[in-house]
Amino acid sequence: MDIVDRFPLFPVLVCFLAYPALAALLLRLAPRPARSAVFAASNVSGLAAMCWLNGAKSVRLAVLVPYTRAALIFFLLYLGMILCNYFLLRRVAAGRVPWETALLFPIAMLIYVRYLGGALNPFSVFLAPAGLTSFAGFFVGISYLSFRAVLLAQEVRNEVVPMPSISQYLSFACFPPTLSVGPISPYSKFIRSFDHPSRTVTPVGRSLLRIILGFTKYLVFGSIAAQFTYAGLLRDGHPHALIDLLIAVAIFPVYLYCNFSGYCDLAIGVAGLLGIEVVENFDRPFLSRNSREFWTRWHITLSTWIRDMVFTPLSKGIARRLGPRFTDHAIAASIFISFVIVGIWHGFGICFLLFGVTQGIGLVAVHYYTGWLKRRLGREGLAVYRQNRWIQAAGVAATYSYFALTLIFFANSWQQLLDLHHILRGRLF
């Protein structure tokens, strides 16, 4: 039996129940001058536990000892990379290294672990005794940590915050609630709420309700919706009718929302119990009238990060090079490139790339359609158009349908897509 199969809820329980209880106790007992160091130690310990648990997928109990040895080695390597980023940031802040280095090093960490580690893997001697071939599973939250590190570098460069101490940095970088699923919350909000906690901002009752809501979404509604997704409905070894595929397409966004937003609810609630304010990541996304509005409501922190770090500088650069006449096309090209990056960020492979491409196409279509409406209807006419309830309803339905269809690439590997025609009673679609 696999370790995770034996203890399936351990990752959730450690991150969202055991960690906050221990961290809250340590913070209460610690003298005020030592609070930051104590919080850093508890967060680094939480990261170690999460690395061990996350890497334990498909690991047999019989190799528990060599697996634990490998987990310790890769945790120390992960922590070493995090510390290297800190000391690099210090040199950048002191003017000894260009600022671009602090923005690019976290991304280089991410690219190596998630995309190049399979080809450039010198660690087989540690992995083989545990029956593993990849070390990526040990680097839990590398995507979110890297993006938050870039935000920190930007905030230090723009003098939004002073250069953090090493304990402040480790507390932020290794903060377990937001590590594995986000949100990509900035350091400025984190350190302000840690240094000056306010129960009017993070009331205990509301934080507890948020945790209950998160568990309900994740364990109850997510489990129910999972029965009607591609894996739950179609991959049971039996042939299926086309209607089953349509059900899976329609329900998968609900399943994804329950799991993802449920985890974010847990993260925000647990952080709130510790007095840490975390930004929201969802805002009723399925009520969006078009794809552009959808991405301001779904995975909000990722959309904001991509807007600030990729879209804005890219669109300005293209428009500057091509001239004012081509500003509209520069924006469209930047939207498309930004969402190709979003697709690749979610995972490696052709399907994640196609997910990003299809999202980019949808957003570019909305961009040009909105511009056409403005020219045709004028500002007042466009306002009347947007207030029409029938048009709003049609927009909501079309936006959900398009997102659901594009998620077929997100939810399936290329081989699984090819296998679907066998599942659908031999009919191609």
Domain ranges of the chain: 3-195, 204-280, 286-423
Cis peptide before 285 (omega within 30 of 0): no
Helices 19-29 and 242-273, axial angle in degrees (round to 10): 10
H helices within 56-123, ranges in order? 64-93, 99-111
- Do residues 283 and 297 make contact, with C-beta atoms less than 8 angstroms apart? yes
Given this model, what pLDDT does residue 43 score? 94
What's the token pair of residue 144? Answer: 């979110």
Question: Could you tell me if residue 279 is left (phi over 0), alpha (psi between -120 and 50 degrees) or otherwise beta?
Answer: beta
Residue type, 90: R
H helices within 99-230, ranges in order? 99-111, 124-127, 142-157, 166-173, 187-195, 204-215, 222-226
Identify the three-state secondary structure at position 2.
strand
Identify the three-state secondary structure at position 62.
helix
Given this model, what pLDDT does residue 418 score? 87
> Which segments of the chain have a pLDDT < 50?
1-8, 428-429
- Do residues 299 and 346 make contact, with C-beta atoms less than 8 angstroms apart? no
pTM higher than the cut 0.85:
yes
Residues in the chain: 429
Given this model, what pLDDT does residue 3 score? 47
What is the rounded CA–CA span in Å between residue 329 and residue 335? 10
Q: Which of 92, 72, 144, 86 is nearest to 113 (CA)?
A: 144
DSSP 183: -
Q: Is the dihedral of CA 122, 127, 131, 135 positive or negative?
A: negative
Given this model, what pLDDT does residue 12 score? 66
Distances (CA, A) of 349 to 238, 408, 409: 27, 14, 10
What is the rounded CA–CA span in Å between residue 408 and residue 355? 8
Q: Is the dihedral of CA 54, 60, 65, 67 positive or negative?
A: negative
Given this model, what pLDDT does residue 6 score? 45
Cβ atoms within 10 Å of 209's Cβ, excluding its own: 14
Given this model, what pLDDT does residue 428 score? 45
